[in-house]
Amino acid sequence: MDPHSIVVVSLHTPKEKVWGELLSINPSGITLRCIDLNSFDHFIRQINEPDGERMGFPTIFFLSREKSGVPSPTISRNSPELRYPESQ
């Protein structure tokens, strides 16, 4: 996977998914500029309303399992959750 790819990361504990830009991936973990996947609809709405409130994308580092003792995140490029229907 290349830097600046758009990815979905699934975490096991706590169970959550994040969506965003892969900044780096190495043996110690991954760094993303991302949002929680539950916020994806809000993100799309703010694109359609350019004068509205803006949501930022924080930069987050996720430790790999070898370093933190927690399961490694699963990274996916193609996720059906990211297919957003056309505006009506």
Domain boundaries, the chain: 6-79
pTM: 0.64
Do residues 82 and 40 make contact, with C-beta atoms less than 8 angstroms apart?
yes
- Would the CA dihedral through 78, 30, 42, 16 be positive or negative? positive
Question: Bigger pLDDT: 53 or 78?
Answer: 53
Burial of 76 (0-12, 13-18, 19+ CB in 10 A): middle
Query: Tell me: the pLDDT tens digits for 22-69?
Result: 999 888 888 999 989 888 888 888 878 877 777 778 899 988 765 444
Residue 28, pLDDT score: 85
Do residues 60 and 16 make contact, with C-beta atoms less than 8 angstroms apart?
no
pLDDT-derived band at 87 (thresholds 50, 70, 90) equals very low
Residue 74, pLDDT score: 58
Residue 48 has, within 13 A of its CA and on its CB side, a CA count of: 11
Vertex 62: Cα angle to 84 and 1 (nearest 5): 60
Residue 51, pLDDT score: 78
